Structure formats: structure tokens, C-alpha cells
């Protein structure tokens, strides 16, 4: 049975992926806990209490997070970028073309889509792209003949899903609980 960073046994409801996320987060945060300094009144017991509190906080965060949020946090950890602001992560109230979730990390915005949503989100994105770049300039009576399905297929064959990342045209795949999530940076 897997163990939490503080040595207590994990409940069965945590997956290996979740435990890995928790362990990485714990390792990052425990570095900020000062070593025992008897001159400042700290004992090994108070330091252990601080570590236990940290482990409890991480468990609580994991229990309250949904899978899209877990995928986003895992993505941020995998980036190890100086541009990431973990203290300022927020989930927006709107969705990406009606699907998934949108998160901000202080400066940048990211769309997180599950494998179940990616095709529908791509179709919605391609339709809006067609409307903004082609259809709006067509004569009104010709617009009804525009083939959105063919256009979507052409865009997917040419640019793939990466076109939904307005930042750099790339996306990352993260697996949580054996389910794929796709992260698209927007700015």
C-alpha cells in the first residue's frame, strides 16, 4: 500500500497519479520548513507537527480538487517554469468553447479538456475560426453552402488540436485516473 509523505498509510481512494502529485507537492513545500533550531524554541516535535499539518493540507487540497484541476496542477509541476505562480491559481467560471475548464496561474490562461470533450471543443473552435476568417466575408446568400465539417477536417489535418493554443500552437497531455486531459495555454 502506498504511503503519504508523512509516513501514514494512504486511503484506498487515492490513485497512484494522485499520490505522485501529492508527494511532489509535499517535497516542494517541506523544503520551506526550517530545520530544528533550539535557540528559537523549536523542537523536533514542533517541526514534526508542522510537517504533519502540511501533509494534512495537501490531502485536503487533493480531496477537494476535481480531475481537471488535478491535471492542470500536474501540468504546471511538469513545466517547472519560473513563470508559474502556484499561489495564484484560479478556475474561471466560463468554459473553453463550452467545454472543459479554464484556469489562470496569475499571468496566463489555460484550457483543460478531457479526452471525451476534445473533439467537440475542436469542432466549436473550428466553426468560430471559419466564421471569423472566411464566412463573414462571403456573400450572405453563399454562407449557407459553407461546409463546416470539411473545413474542420482540413484544419485538423493541417494544424491538429494545437491550433486551439493561441499562445504557441502546442498542447500537453496529462493522465489522471487513467483518463487523458489536454492542456492548451492561451496567452
Residue 184, helix vs strand vs coil: strand
Sheet with 101-104: strands ordered across: 90-91, 101-104, 109-114, 179-185, 172-176
Choice between 3 and 88, residue whose per-residue pLDDT is larger: 88
**Tens digit of each residue's pLDDT (9 = 90 or more) over 114-124:** 998 999 999 99
**Per-residue pLDDT for 2 more than 50?**
no
What average pLDDT does range 5-31 have in this prediction? 65
Residue 185 CA to residue 187 CA, distance in Å, equals 6
Which pTM was predicted? 0.64
Amino acid at each position: 500500500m502506498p504511503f503519504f509523505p508523512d509516513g501514514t498509510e494512504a486511503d484506498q481512494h487515492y490513485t497512484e497519479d494522485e499520490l505522485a502529485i501529492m508527494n511532489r507537492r509535499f517535497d516542494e513545500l517541506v523544503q520551506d520548513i526550517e530545520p530544528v533550531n533550539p535557540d528559537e524554541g523549536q523542537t523536533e516535535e514542533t517541526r514534526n507537527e508542522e510537517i504533519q499539518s502540511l501533509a494534512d493540507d495537501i490531502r485536503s487540497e487533493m480531496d477537494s480538487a476535481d480531475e481537471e484541476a488535478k491535471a492542470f496542477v500536474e501540468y504546471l509541476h511538469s513545466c517547472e517554469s519560473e513563470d508559474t505562480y502556484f499561489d495564484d491559481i484560479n478556475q474561471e467560471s466560463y468554459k473553453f468553447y463550452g467545454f472543459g475548464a479554464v484556469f489562470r496561474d496569475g499571468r496566463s490562461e489555460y484550457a483543460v479538456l478531457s479526452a471525451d470533450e476534445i473533439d467537440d471543443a475542436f469542432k466549436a473552435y473550428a466553426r468560430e475560426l471559419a466564421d471569423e476568417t472566411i464566412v463573414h466575408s462571403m456573400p450572405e446568400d453563399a454562407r449557407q453552402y459553407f461546409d463546416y465539417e470539411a473545413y474542420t477536417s482540413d484544419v485538423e489535418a493541417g494544424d491538429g488540436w494545437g491550433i486551439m493554443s493561441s499562445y504557441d500552437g502546442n498542447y500537453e497531455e496529462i493522465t489522471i485516473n487513467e483518463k487523458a486531459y489536454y492542456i492548451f495555454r492561451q496567452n
